[in-house]
Amino acid sequence: MKAVVFKGPFNVAVENVPDPTLEQPNDAILRITTSNICGSDLHPYEGRAPLDQGMVLGHENMGVVEDVGPGVDRISVGDRVSVPFNIACGTCRNCTAGWTNACLRANPTGRPTAGYGYPMMGPYWGGQAEYLRVPWADFNLLKLPAGREHENAFTMLSDIFPTGYHGAELARVTPGDTVAVFGAGPVGLMAAHSAMIRGASQVFIVDKEPDRLELAERYGVTAVNFAEVDPTEVITDATDGTGVDCGVEAVGYQAHDPTGQEHPELVMDKLVEVVQSTGRIGVVGVYLPQDPGAATEGAQEGRIGFDYGSVFDKNIALGHGQCPVKRYNRQLRDLIIRGRAQPELIVSHELSLNEAPQAYDQFDKRIDGWTKVLLCGRSANSPGLRSSNSPGSSLGGQSIRWSWCPGP
C-alpha cells in the first residue's frame, strides 16, 4: 500500500510499504478514508522528538473495517469507524478506569501509553496510509453512521476534538464559567468550542494569528490578539477584575516570544495571571520530561520554572496530559450527529496522500490559512494541492466536497 513514511527530520515521503495484516486475534484492518496531520506530528518532523526512520506517520485516523480477527465480536467488516489515537488494551487497570491514554500493556517498551506512528508510543504504524492495523479493535473503535456524511467532523474525533474537550474537562468548565484558552491552533479551538458546549458564559482565546482568531469567533468565542493587546488586561477587565474561572493551555513547551526565543514557562505564567483564585487550569499543550532541543538546561530535563508560588497562593488546580479519547468520543460524535458541534469548521485543506510531503512542509512553516489538513487514504488521482479556503469557497467544512478525495 501507499503510506506517508518518516525519512528523517523535515523529510517525509509517500512510499509503497507492505499491507498490514491481522497479527492478533483481536486486531482489525481498516481502509483509511481520512487521516489528518496533527500539530504534534511536527514534533518528530522537526527532529524535536525521536522517531525511527521508516515509521508510517498518522495518528488521527478514520475509515471502514476491511477485516477482523477471530476474537473480534462487536465490530464487523464494513463498519465505518473512528480510531482513537490512543492504543488501549481495554483490560488493564488504567484502561478499566477510563485512562486509555495510559494503557499499561499496549506499548512493548513498558511505557504506560501507546499510539500510532508517533515517537515513544510503540511500534504501531500510523494511518496516513491506505490501510491501518488496529489492535483490540472491539475496545478501541468507535462506530459511526454508515456513509460519508459528517466525514470532516467525525475525523476530528480521533484526537483534537476530544483533546480540546479534555482541556475543558481538566479545567472543570461548568455552566456559567468564564474561560481563557491560550493557543488558537486546532486543539485550542476545539477546547474553546468544547467550553462553549459545556455552557461557559464567555470564552476568551489568545493567539496572534488572525486566521485562527477569526475561526474562533465563528464558535462564539472572544478573540484576543496578544500581538495587539495585553491578554491579562483584556481578560481581567472583561471579568470585573477577578479573572476567569478556568484556563486551558493549548500551546505546550515550544511557546516562544516574537523573536522566536522559546520560553516554555510563558503560557503557564500568563494562565496563572488570568485565572482567578480557586480556579482550574487544564493543560493539554505538550510538555516533555526530556527535551534535548530545549534552550535551557532545566527545560532539557522537563523543568519549567513557572510561577508556582502563585499557583499555591491562588489555590489553583492543574490537570495535565494526553487525552483518553474513548472517554469522550461517543458523546462528541452524538453532538455532531445532532447538529450541536461543528469541529469541521477548522478544516482548511483536504489533500491526497501524495500531497503529504508538501502539506507537512507548508503546515510546519505555519503558512497562513493552513489550520488543519486532512489526507485521503485511498485517493490516487487527486488533481493537486487544494485549499478549502480558496476563493470561491467559504472557509469551513460544509462547503468542502468530499468528492475531491475520490475513493478507489
As measured in angstroms, the least distance from the Cβ of 143 to a second copy is 10
Rule CB under 8 A: say whether 208 interacts with a second copy: no
Nearest Cα to 87, choosing from 55, 124, 54, 41?
A: 124
Q: What angle do CA 336, 117, 341 make, to 5 degrees?
A: 10
Please, which of residues 259-298 interact with a second copy by CB under 8 A? 265, 277-278, 283, 286-291, 298
As measured in angstroms, the least distance from the Cβ of 98 to a second copy is 7
As measured in angstroms, the least distance from the Cβ of 64 to a second copy is 19
As measured in angstroms, the least distance from the Cβ of 89 to a second copy is 7
Residue among 337, 358, 364, 407 that touches a second copy (CB under 8 A): 337
As measured in angstroms, the least distance from the Cβ of 72 to a second copy is 8
Residue with cell 535551557: 296
The residue among 231 and 279 lying less far from a second copy, judged by its C-beta, is: 279
Residue with cell 486551558: 248
* Burial group, residue 176, by CB count within 10 angstroms (0-12, 13-18, 19+): exposed
As measured in angstroms, the least distance from the Cβ of 377 to a second copy is 24
Contact between residue 265 and residue 300 where contact means Cβ atoms under 8 Å apart: no
Please, which of residues 14-43 interact with a second copy by CB under 8 A? 24-26
Name the residue type at position 116: Y
The residue among 144 and 376 lying less far from a second copy, judged by its C-beta, is: 144
Please, which of residues 48-107 interact with a second copy by CB under 8 A? 69-71, 73-74, 89-94, 96-99, 101-102, 105
The residue among 200 and 405 lying less far from a second copy, judged by its C-beta, is: 200
The residue among 328 and 360 lying less far from a second copy, judged by its C-beta, is: 328
Please, which of residues 103-162 interact with a second copy by CB under 8 A? 105, 112-113, 138-139
What whole-number distance in Å separates Cα of residue 168 and Cα of residue 405?
Answer: 33
Rule CB under 8 A: say whether 178 interacts with a second copy: yes
Please, which of residues 348-407 interact with a second copy by CB under 8 A? none
Residue with cell 513498558: 110
For strand 317-320 and strand 349-352, is the pairing parallel, antiparallel, or unpaired?
Answer: unpaired
The residue among 269 and 361 lying less far from a second copy, judged by its C-beta, is: 269
Which string of b and e fits 259-296 if b means at least 16 CB within 10 Å? eeebbbbbbbbbbbbbbbeebbbbbbbbbbeebeebee
Residue among 208, 313, 368, 398 that touches a second copy (CB under 8 A): 313
Which string of b and e fits 216-234 if b means at least 16 CB within 10 Å? beebebbbbbbeeeebbeb
What whole-number distance in Å separates Cα of residue 353 and Cα of residue 359?
Answer: 10
